[in-house]
Amino acid sequence: MISGKTETYVDNKRKDDVRQANIMAAKAVADAVRTSLGPRGMDKMLSTSSGEVIITNDGATILLKMEVLQPAAKMLVELSKSQDIVAGDGTTTVVVIAGALLKQCIALLGKGVHPTIISDAFHRASLKAVEVLTSMAIPVELSDREALVKNASTSLNSKVVSQYSSLLAPLAVDAVLNVVDPARPDSVDLRDIKVIKKLGGTVDDTEMIKGLVFDKKASHTAGGPTRVENAKIGLIQFQISPPKTDIEQNVIVSDYTQMDRILKEERNHILGMIKKIKATGCNVLLIQKSILRDAVTELSLHYLAKAKILVVKDVERDEIEFISKTLNCLPIANIEHFRAEKLGQAELVEEVSVGDGRIVKISGIKNMGRTTTILVRGSNQLVLDEAERSLHDALCVVRCLVNKRFLIAGGGAPEIEVSRQLGAWAKTLQGMESYCVRAFAEALEVIPYTLAENAGLNPITIVTELRNHHANGEVNTGINVRKGQITNILEENVVQPLLVSTSAVSLATECVRMILKIDDIVTVR
């Protein structure tokens, strides 16, 4: 008699189909960004539903704006976002590596390897890869400004604004070094660097400003001052306007004398406030935007102008922290608390015309906090936005170096080296694991392959030659895209922070392992 066991038939086809579909969708996303990798990579033009056009080379931005519907492909978008948070640069690299690993997974699954085995082997391989990268790294000191600038310019070389890298790279380095706190030398908060965009001029006119800049005009009502020397600056969060009831209600006034009295009271109320402000010697007021009622009225602006106080109104709420840190003053929430010791001091506050608009510039701040402002200029909105994104990447690269003070060569050199060492390591392993590790090693070759392809070189020749050089122990040999040949990349000053590469490998592996382990998609209505 046959036992009941042979009768059961398990349908694995569906699970394989779901896995295939997931991998294919994620690979399609990776292939879309692949062409924009490297200094010779192409740019993407994104047209949003609202008719806005964005031209960019930044992997994270491209994927963020793509409307990806497939859940597994969405994971790749999240992947580039997390690389953007951890390292800031290498957002395209991480997606391309993930795509290559998925391609290897299809081949392995086709041979009947179980997904869990692939997943575990990949995990071990990624840990080993991070070890190899760390052993290649060269320590760097923050005092070595030249090395930091090389890093930043390598990051900028693959962007639309690459011709300005000689200007933007030192700018990014100085900005980050300005905000490094000696008390906590390992961390940089990029919120302390404010980037302001102004249309007009070219990217060449971008400058770093010691001080504070508001992308607003000073209030010109009733002829208030637009330039104040030896300024005492008050940052207020209350309104200089007649008080209003909390609920909507009408007061019916039947008599002219009562109406007069209301207006007089309003005037006295405002005058009283302004006298208190003037008494502390304050001559510049920054007024926070108010939601409940007007922060300032025509009347109060008129009195402020008479008192010779320069007013910048509508300061955004989220800028308050940055401003108080820079000016070394305290935000004042109530007129009763308005005292001289809460004011910030600066040598000069003036309104300057820039491009087609005006900005208020505060310079010569006493006891200035550790913050920096960068004013980015550009001839049109697209260039301006792209310059800001590229600058952000460069700032992140310098921040990576502050966090982890090691750098490695760029130009595909580390990937080939890791691939070679993992290949050698795979030969010492047994069984399925050695297959999977070898597949992982092959997948990493996608980076130099794509770099060569985007530069219009012959990828197969280049990658083979690279392997040959690395086998002879030339660890820092990479693709020199400019000369179209293989050279020692370190001497060409193409370097990147260790953190960018290590986080790219480990994040990509993590993402691929998650996609591999999904065997069914259940839609919940």
DSSP per residue over 175-238, as a string?
A: HHHHH-BTTBTT---GGGEEEEEEEBS-GGG-EEESSEEESSPPP-GGG--SEEEEEEEEEE-S
Q: Which of 84, 89, 385, 393 is catalytic?
A: 393
Q: How do 212-214 and 227-236 pair as beta strands?
A: unpaired
User: Of the listed 56, 91, 206, 502, which one is catalytic?
Assistant: 91
Structural contact between residues 297 and 313, judged by C-beta atoms closer than 8 angstroms: no
Whether 202 is catalytic: no
CA contacts within 13 A on the Cβ side of 29: 33
Q: Is 255 a catalytic residue?
A: no
58 is catalytic: yes
Nearest to 512 by CA among 93, 87, 115: 115
Q: Which residue has the tokens 């604004």?
A: 161
Contact 45, 57 (CB under 8 A): no
Q: CB of 234 within 8 A of CB of 338?
A: yes
Residue 46, burial from CB neighbour count under 10 angstroms (0-12, 13-18, 19+): middle
Q: Is 92 a catalytic residue?
A: yes
Q: Number of H helices and number of E strands within the chain?
A: 16, 17
Choose, from 56, 61, 92, 154, the residue flagged as catalytic: 92
Alpha-carbon gap, residue 96 to 211, rounded angstroms? 41
- Residue 137 to residue 132: CA distance in whole angstroms: 9
Residues 440 and 434: their CA atoms lie apart, in Å, by: 10
In angstroms, the CA 47 to CA 492 distance is 37
Rg over CA atoms, the chain: 30
Tell me if 102 sits within 8 A of 9, measured CB to CB.
Answer: no
Give the span between the Cα atoms of 509 and 122, in whole angstroms: 7
User: DSSP of 113-179, one letter per residue?
Assistant: --HHHHHHHHHHHHHHHHHHHHHH-EE--TT-HHHHHHHHHHHHHTSTTGGGHHHHHHHHHHHHHHH
Catalytic annotation, residues: 58, 91-92, 393
